């Protein structure tokens, strides 16, 4: 009796995922246009931006196993780069924002290289301190650079205003899908296997020929570039930027999303970013107690689920369907075998 395990071919897997994404887009588009209010649509955009921030930090924290605390700095670099370009660019609206988005990602990636090469020689608390310092340096520069150069550039603490609002639900959704797809593809490649091996045992990885410095820098830069993209979308959504937005607590907020969802779980990061963005908004009616309730929810979650919502588990539609088909085939084979024995 043939009991060979059934596996889906790659084109079928990609088609299934594409159909799932398309259905999700259609469903959310219907909600944004017919059900949700303007305020709720803005919350939905914030959810998308936070998802990109969470899954990008998950690359450096969950997959690589490092502890960077300067993610808000990379977000700020991307946000201000894109905002300044789109604000003063003479190009058509869509073109200027597309170029600004690319520039924001590239500039954040360059800062990722600048910080990552020396900082990733360290680990643990030392890496956290260096990246924390980087985030604070970026914020201080954005606050005081105008007084140094003698002209209005970032407008300091007063904020950079009148930024063209190009971010829409469709654009944010596309960016979320593209970022998740890139991370998923990278982690399934030899680069991803090298990154995971470094997380498990860096010395053993180096002893078998893995270029640890290269792959650590690669993961760090990828994480920084996606944080820059999130910053670009944030600037195009809000229409104004303030250095105080990118304080240390912003990095901690993103880190909490990753830890709550599960280190190394993309789906966990997506779910936790969604929950932690919507929960404070739902508690606005309890204005005096909402942060207490929010904090208690996090404490309770960490007590009963210390590895996060999903741990290191990542949902796969194709894998789930394969398991279902194999179980179904197994039951059919077992039934046929029992029938043959009864004869």
Angstrom distance (rounded) from CA 158 to CA 197: 46
Residue 160: beta bridge partners? 241
CATH number of the domain at 10-328, please?
A: 1.10.3470
Q: What is the DSSP string of 273-299?
A: HHHHHHHHHHTGGGTTTHHHHHHHHHH
Tokens for 298, please give them.
């996090």
Contact status, residue 230 vs residue 111, Cβ threshold 8 Å = no
Per-residue pLDDT of the chain (343 residues), as tens digits, is 445 566 767 677 778 778 888 999 999 999 999 888 888 899 999 999 999 999 999 999 989 888 888 899 999 999 999 999 998 888 887 888 899 999 999 999 999 999 888 887 777 778 888 889 988 999 999 988 888 887 777 888 888 888 888 888 999 999 999 999 999 999 989 999 999 999 888 889 888 888 888 999 999 999 999 999 999 999 999 889 999 899 888 898 898 889 888 888 888 899 999 988 988 888 777 766 766 777 777 788 778 777 777 776 666 666 666 676 677 666 555 555 555 555 5
User: Exposed (0-12), middle (13-18) or buried (19+): which is 8, by Cβ within 10 Å?
Assistant: middle
d(CA 30, CA 296): 34
Q: What is the domain partition of the chain in residue ranges?
A: 10-328
Tokens of 40: 């709720």
| DSSP helix/strand/coil, 160 | strand
Give the pTM.
0.87
Partnered with residue 241 across adjacent β-strands are 160
């Amino acid at each position: 009796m043939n009991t060979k395990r059934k596996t889906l071919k790659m084109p079928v897997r990609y088609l299934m995922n594409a159909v799932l994404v398309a259905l999700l887009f259609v469903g959310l588009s219907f909600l944004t246009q017919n059900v949700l209010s303007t305020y709720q649509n803005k919350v939905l955009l914030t959810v998308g931006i936070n998802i990109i921030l969470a899954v990008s930090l998950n690359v450096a924290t969950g997959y690589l196993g490092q502890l960077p605390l300067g993610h808000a700095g990379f977000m700020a670099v991307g946000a201000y780069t894109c905002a300044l370009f789109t604000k003063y660019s003479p190009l058509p609206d869509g073109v200027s924002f597309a170029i600004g988005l690319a520039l924001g990602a590239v500039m954040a990636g360059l800062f990722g290289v600048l910080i990552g090469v020396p900082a990733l020689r360290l680990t643990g608390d030392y890496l956290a301190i260096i990246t924390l310092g980087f985030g604070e340096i970026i914020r201080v520069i954005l606050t005081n650079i105008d007084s140094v150069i003698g002209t209005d550039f970032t407008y300091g603490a007063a904020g950079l205003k009148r930024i063209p609002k190009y971010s829409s639900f469709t654009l944010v959704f596309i960016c979320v899908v593209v970022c998740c797809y890139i991370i998923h593809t990278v982690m399934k490649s030899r680069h991803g296997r090298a990154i995971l091996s470094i997380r498990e045992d860096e010395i053993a990885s180096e002893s078998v020929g893995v270029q640890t410095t290269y792959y650590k820098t690669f993961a760090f830069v990828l994480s920084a570039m996606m944080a820059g993209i999130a910053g670009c979308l944030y600037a195009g959504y809000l229409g104004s930027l303030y250095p105080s937005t990118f304080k240390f607590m912003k990095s901690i907020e993103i880190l909490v999303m990753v830890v709550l969802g599960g280190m190394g779980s993309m789906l966990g990061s997506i779910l936790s970013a969604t929950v932690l963005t919507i929960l404070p908004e739902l508690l606005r009616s309890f204005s005096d107690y909402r942060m207490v309730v929010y904090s208690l929810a996090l404490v309770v979650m960490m007590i009963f689920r210390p590895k996060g919502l999903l741990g290191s588990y990542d949902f796969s539609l194709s894998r789930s369907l394969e398991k279902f088909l194999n179980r179904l085939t197994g039951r059919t084979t077992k039934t046929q075998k029992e029938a043959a024995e009864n004869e």
